[in-house]
Amino acid sequence: MSFTGKKFPNITVDAIDYLGDNLFINIFEEAAKKEKKVLLFWYPKDFTFVCPTELHAFQEALPEFEKRNTMVIGASCDTNEVHFAWLSTAKDNGGIEGVTYPILADTNRNLSRILGILEGEEKKSEEFGSVFEGSNVTFRATYLIDEEGKVFHESVNDMPLGRNVKEYLRLIDAYAHVQKFGEVCPANWEEGKEAMNATRDGVAAYLSTQPAMN
């Protein structure tokens, strides 16, 4: 089920911060009540391989997200205790020490199940009624949520594929441009480039300024 164009699920999830404080975070409320955009990114497991590179990449870009009035929140199905152990592990030992944004601990998988981002599925079993086949951890799903709690972007990468953090900054810039000016953003749009009106004349005028394709 896609949530793009819809309100993000109004559900509270356990979380932890880098100080070891246990939190309860409702993504929808974080956006709507604080009037901020939220970038929520899911990763499969703590203490794995591609995952720490992504958490550090989002941390490095945190000032850029903050400039854009955007909160960054990580998420997996690991427990708060495992999250904190990883947060306390040095970077040169595969850890994420230095990461300061909160991380959801969706251990009951309520939110990830609603979002439909778990790898695997329930199968019928004659002996046990049903069993889960698959890892039951999340794919690399990413959600961008606006100040009213509406999802304006979602994407899902398979396990081996790390994300490009700069693309999310570009998407936030594009959405902010739409919000401010009412224009739409064409392919490969970046901050400072020309946007266009969502009309026949608007697209014609925009295309007339673009270099010819061979």
Q: Which two tokens stand for residue 87?
A: 């947060």
Give the span between the Cα atoms of 167 and 193, in whole angstroms.
Answer: 15
Give the span between the Cα atoms of 47 and 82, in whole angstroms.
Answer: 9
- Exactly one of 51, 111, 115, 169 is catalytic; which is it? 51
Amino acid letter for position 30:
E
Give the span between the Cα atoms of 206 and 67, in whole angstroms.
Answer: 29
CA 39, 44, 50, 56 torsion: positive or negative? positive
For the chain, counts of helices (H) and of strands (E): 7, 9
Query: What SS3 class is residue 145?
Result: strand
Give the span between the Cα atoms of 122 and 61, in whole angstroms.
Answer: 38
Write out the H or E segment, with its range, that includes residue 106: none
Give the span between the Cα atoms of 214 and 211, in whole angstroms.
Answer: 9
185 is known as an active-site residue: no
**Residue 23, beta-bridge partner list:** 15
Query: Catalytic residue numbers?
Result: 51
